[in-house]
């Protein structure tokens, strides 16, 4: 259940003054087809793609895969694709199902679940990111399990086409290791991803195994493909520009109070982009944003938008800022992502103009 500063409601009623909030993920669900079938394909060793239809043959195309230098299977990206069904020529008559990618929405390879810059407290070692950043592996597998329709899949051999499914669940238990102190794990990390008609639900829990200096840390980030980004709208009704490319930051006036966020494309674009929306709704906001706890971002709002360059805009909930965690302390983050579309006349799309 979401905890927020006010009830969740429709976009016309949401405002900072009313305290009412819009759940953009639910809004997209309400304006999308409710698919009876999803489609999944294993594309290689710890690589997985899932299609979630939301309007006819148009699908949210979600991608999961192992980092290059550690074991963490991250939520790699979210695109819009067209479902392609062709005769397969197989004796059973089953069709060949594939996807024709149209455009990226969520930035590929950019971390979404969590990112924590850490060093053993008092060690003097440079801070390193959990999970992998800059080709430095830090998160390694204890166990990784893939469940499709609640049945475990252990064969990661690449498949040529998608197959119909109802749900996909990835469950990972990992350890975090600082590269300058490999003799002992720095953290125990549990992370799960569930993909179904409701979107991509993510839950992460990091337990510190001994005192750790956290230079900065984030949970439930939203990285957006630069060519898609135009406006960011928060569940409290504020609208922010998402087009600058000069490495500047926009500190959100909502601070840590908005429970849901939506990125919109510019009006008048082709391929349905103008109607496409990428949304993220935080679950358990008091835990995910560490309400009332020490060591959150200082002197500025907890949530901010980075205008990094032409390739990416990224929303950062900064829940750690120069903080020392003790052994047994833990951080939990949870939420759901959804890529879908709204009709051109919808009030949310009208507000971006």
Predicted local confidence at residue 34, as pLDDT: 86
Average of per-residue pLDDT across 121-128: 97
Residue 2 belongs to a domain? no
Please name which of 234, 103, 88 lies closest in space to residue 162, comparing C-alpha atoms.
88
Residue 135 belongs to a domain? yes
Predicted local confidence at residue 14, as pLDDT: 67
Predicted local confidence at residue 92, as pLDDT: 65
* 280: β partners: 261, 337
Residue 298 belongs to a domain? yes
The CATH number for 65's domain is 2.70.98
The predicted-structure confidence for 13-58, as pLDDT tens digits, reads as follows: 566 766 789 999 999 999 999 888 999 999 999 999 999 999 999 9
Which residues form the domain of 293?
8-351
Residue 294 belongs to a domain? yes
Average of per-residue pLDDT across 6-15: 55
Residue 3 belongs to a domain? no
Predicted local confidence at residue 3, as pLDDT: 38
The predicted-structure confidence for 68-102, as pLDDT tens digits, reads as follows: 999 999 999 999 999 999 876 676 667 889 999 99
Predicted local confidence at residue 5, as pLDDT: 41
Predicted local confidence at residue 11, as pLDDT: 56
The predicted-structure confidence for 130-189, as pLDDT tens digits, reads as follows: 999 989 999 999 999 999 999 999 999 999 899 999 999 999 999 999 999 999 999 999
Query: What is the count of structural domains for the chain?
Result: 1
Mean per-residue pLDDT over the chain, rounded: 94
Please name which of 4, 170, 199, 180 lies closest in space to residue 72, comparing C-alpha atoms.
170
What is the DSSP track for 273-295? GGGEEEEEEEESHHHHTTTT-TT
Residue 1 belongs to a domain? no
């Amino acid at each position: 259940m979401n905890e927020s500063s006010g009830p969740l409601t429709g976009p016309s009623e949401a405002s900072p003054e009313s305290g009412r909030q819009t759940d953009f993920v639910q809004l997209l669900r309400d304006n999308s087809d409710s698919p009876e079938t999803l489609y999944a394909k294993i594309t290689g060793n710890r690589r997985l793609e899932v299609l979630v239809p939301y309007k006819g043959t148009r699908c949210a195309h979600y991608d999961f895969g192992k980092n290059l230098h550690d074991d963490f299977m991250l939520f790699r990206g979210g695109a819009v694709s067209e479902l392609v069904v062709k005769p397969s020529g197989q004796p059973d008559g089953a069709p060949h199902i594939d996807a024709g990618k149209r455009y990226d929405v969520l930035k590929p390879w950019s971390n979404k679940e969590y990112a924590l810059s850490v060093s053993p407290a008092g060690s003097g070692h440079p801070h390193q990111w959990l999970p992998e950043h800059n080709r430095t592996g830090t998160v390694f597998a204890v166990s990784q399990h893939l469940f499709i329709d609640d049945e475990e899949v252990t064969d990661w051999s690449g498949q040529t086409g998608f197959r119909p499914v109802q749900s996909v669940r990835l469950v990972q238990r990992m350890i975090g290791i600082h590269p300058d102190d490999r003799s002992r794990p720095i953290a125990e990390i549990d992370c799960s991803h569930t993909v179904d008609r409701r979107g991509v639900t993510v839950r992460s829990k990091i337990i510190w195994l001994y005192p750790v200096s956290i230079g900065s840390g984030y949970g439930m980030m939203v990285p957006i493909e630069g060519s898609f980004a135009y406006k960011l709208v928060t569940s409290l009704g504020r609208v922010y520009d998402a087009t600058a490319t000069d490495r500047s930051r926009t500190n959100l006036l909502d601070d840590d109070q908005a429970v849901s966020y939506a990125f919109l494309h510019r009006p008048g674009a082709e391929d349905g982009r103008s109607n496409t929306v990428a949304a993220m709704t935080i679950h358990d906001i008091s835990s995910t944003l560490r309400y009332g706890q020490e060591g959150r971002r200082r002197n500025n709002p907890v949530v901010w938008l980075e205008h990094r360059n032409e390739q990416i805009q990224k929303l950062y909930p900064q829940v750690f800022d120069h903080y020392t965690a003790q052994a047994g302390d833990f951080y939990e983050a949870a939420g759901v992502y959804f890529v879908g579309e709204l009709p051109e006349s919808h009030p949310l799309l009208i507000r971006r103009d």
